[in-house]
Structure 1
Amino acid sequence: MRRVGFLACPGTLPGSSDRRADAHEHDLQVAALREGFAPAGLELVEIDWRAPESAFDGIELVLLGTVWDYQDHAERFFATIEGLAARGIAVCNPPELVRWNIEKTYLRDLEQAGAPVIPTLWLDDPNGADIAAAFDYFGCDRLVVKRQVGAGAEGQMSFDRTAPPSPDWRYGHRAMVQPFLPAIVEEGEYSFVFFDGEFSHCIRKTAAPGEYRIQSLYGGKEEAIDPPAEDIASAQAVVRAIPGDTPLYARIDMIRQDGALAVMEAELIEPYLYPEQATGFGARMAEAILKRI
């Protein structure tokens, strides 16, 4: 059996004393991969990304898996995956793509390549005055503030024009500020999953009543859908705009804006890929991996 590593973190690994509330997604993804890997002659090995080098002996390729704390230890994480690549282990997705994707400013590159993206202000540690100005800049009554380096809606905040932050408020991180789009609660967010550049499946994610964040941690729900061809083409165009070689996997998150889909995120590092909603999930991933080892 050829060994493939699945990088994780203490918050997602089974048996951890401080597992995250959404760690069941790790279990579902690993189980689906193992089901498809075994017939392809692949063995999946769960590894903490902080593990010593010896833990990777005999591993031919690593998936970045559920490294859901990497954003707070970015340079150490980069050193780890670059070290693995230097040993001749295929890293998916590769370190150079991770460096590009970790900063949400990659959205500017996608926009320059022709992809429609959500209007965004890029600010260094915004304060109350910056938020007040952003309402006028976008001509909106509600804003969302997100970390430029972050994941899973961590640190995300929403402000209403009638209840802005105090003048002495500071966000504390480099931020991206966007108008709140009603479609997130009226229609939901769409996740298009691709393996080796080919469309696999699509999920519609909706928020719990009274909430706008669609992650499962906040009560969000997801359902498999068959999107129209024009929506798949919109997501496919985003994948084609990603620099470098075609990524092994990609999740393109989009939302309807003025009747057309726009990019929320191009998730290329450690996205959950919704294996429950995809027939043959593990087998398709195995097929793509075998082309790389």
Structure 2
Amino acid sequence: MADSVLQYKLDCGDYIFSRTIPAVTRLHQTYRPIPYRVLVDGFGFFDLREHNLCAPVRSEKMSHLVALVTPCAKPSAGDDPFSRDDILIAELHRRQVKVESLDWDDPEAIWKRFDLVIIRSTPDYHQRSDEFIQWLTKMASDGVKLGNPYNLCKWNINKKYLKDFAAKGVKIVPTEFVTDTGSSLKQIMKQRRWNTAVIKPSIGANAFMLYKVASSEAAEHFEEILVTMIRKHGGGMVQLFMDSIHTSGEWSLVFFDGKFSHAANKVPQDGFKTQEQSADSMSCSEEPPKYVLRAGVRVIRHLPTTPLYARVDLMVGDSHTREVVLSELELIEPSLYLGHCKSAAARFADAIMKKLKQ
């Protein structure tokens, strides 16, 4: 009965206190001591009898152990509505899954003891890409089961994967991949006849080193930045700036176990970045436009392995032709908007349960 637990919850307005107490076995029966007085940070002592909270929520045996890879071993909670791993953890607990949170570079972590390791937030991986790849390789060689397998994660680190999709007939945002430090940004824009462009590193995340180049004449101010991307961040990318970002915005489609779950539409008003913290307008839906959904499903079907989770970022190039182009595919640590879609965390948890049984 070592894994048997008793859970109590104390609801004090917006504050939820949860206490887990080990069970004690005696004569084939389980007895659990009830702590009538508990200390809640910021509130002091509470008497559970006064709040009619002495009865247990439930007693259950945890059947699996899952690791969520998050920074500082702190799963995101209410202050980050875009990830909300606390909601996912609650759903996994309901399914008798124990969850622990660890940093990816924690030297004391013993990854083999987990039934499944799910990468959720590794905000520095793109700046330490060699170390991160080494960590992924070590996980694979040790036989650690990753939510999204090693081969997909490694392939997804460098945005050159967009070339693979283009080769398969998937339309992508018009992109020039730059690996030669002698390349001229100004010349690229003139040759492609782009009035406005965006530059970013091939290995990057969270709008890292993302710049808008307003004209080919202004390009000379960004030449050194592009060289830095090539030398330190796996190469540079020059992309056509799509004006539709201010009208149609960017669509982010979330998939669990290869099945569509929900979508977010992000529209920047003043700037051009569509990261959650930058977008001025964002809405979530379980029914995006059909032509957008078809494009997202096509991207997932081109993958060699079905991912546990994925986010497909798409843009509508022309409101008349409804041409949808792939901006990015996030398979490592995408924001999944679990706090914006009521059933998303439950669907993710169901997909995790299926993965655990494989």
Q: Alignment identity in percent?
A: 28
Q: 1:170 Cα deviation (Å)?
A: 4.3
Judged with a 3 Å threshold, the aligned counterparts in structure 2 of structure 1 residues 85 and 164 are, in CA distance, closer, same or farther, namely closer
Structural mapping, 1:199-214, within 5 Å: 199-207=260-268, 209-214=269-274
Question: Which string of whole-angstrom CA distances, capped at 9 and with x for unpartnered residues, describes residues 181-202 of structure 1?
Answer: 0011222100000001100001
2:67/2:101 contact within 8 Å kept? yes
Q: Is the 8 A contact 1:62 1:91 kept in 2?
A: yes
The TM-score, its normalising length taken from structure 2, stands at: 0.73
Q: Does the CA contact (< 8 Å) of 2:68 and 2:120 recur in 1? A: yes
- Aligned pair count reads 283
Residue among 113, 136, 151 paired with 2:190: 136
Structure 2 residue runs of 5 or longer lacking an equivalent are 1-61, 230-234
* CA contact 1:214–1:221 (8 Å) conserved in 2: no
Given the alignment, which residue of 316, 323, 329 partners 1:260?
A: 323
Distance (whole Å) between structure 1 residues aligned to residue 316 and residue 159 of structure 2: 19
Aligned to 2:212: 158
Q: Determine if the alignment matches structure 1 residue 251 to structure 2 residue 316.
A: no
Task: Identify which of 261, 274, 278 aligns with 1:218.
Answer: 278
Match of 2:37 in 1: none
Native 8 Å contact 1:25 1:272 kept in 2: no
Of residues 194, 201, 217, the one that matches 1:147 is 201
Give the alignment partner of residue 118 of structure 1, picking from 135, 150, 173.
173
Which runs of structure 2 are paired with 1:169-180 in the superposition (5 Å)?
169-171=224-226, 172-173=228-229, 174-180=235-241
1: CA distance, partners of 2:260 / 2:305:
16
Runs of 5+ unmatched residues, structure 1: none
Q: Do structure 1's residue 275 and structure 2's residue 329 form an aligned pair?
A: no
Q: How far does residue 277 in structure 1 lie from its aligned partner after superposition?
A: 2.4
Output the aligned Cα RMSD.
2.4
Provide the rounded CA distance (Å) in 2 between the counterparts of 1:221 and 1:89. 39
Which has more helix, going by share of residues?
A: 1
Q: What displacement does 1:93 show?
A: 1.2
**Conserved in 2, the CA contact under 8 Å of 1:64 and 1:269?**
yes
Q: CA deviation at 1:213?
A: 0.5
Seen in structure 2, the aligned counterparts of structure 1 residues 146 and 126 have a Cα distance that, compared at 3 Å, is farther
In 1, are the aligned partners of 2:92 and 2:98 still within 8 Å (CA)?
Answer: yes
Cα distance in structure 2, aligned partners of 1:215 and 1:137: 29
Cα 1:131–1:46 shift into 2, 3 Å: same
Q: What are the Cα deviations for residues 195-237 of structure 1, in whole angstroms up to 9, with x where unaligned?
A: 0110000100111x42100113435442113212222111000
The structure with the largest alpha-carbon Rg is 2
Within 2, Cα distance between the matches of 1:233 and 1:194? 13
Tell me, in whole angstroms, the C-alpha distance in 1 between the residues paired with 2:134 and 2:224.
34
Q: Label 1:168 to 1:70 Cα distance change in 2 as closer, same or farther (>3 A).
A: closer
**Pairing of 1:30-69 with structure 2 (within 5 A):** 30-56=85-111, 58-69=113-124
1:248-288 Cα distance to aligned partner (Å, 9 max, x none): 01100000113211000011111010102223222222221
CA distance in 2 between partners of 1:41 and 1:27 (Å): 25
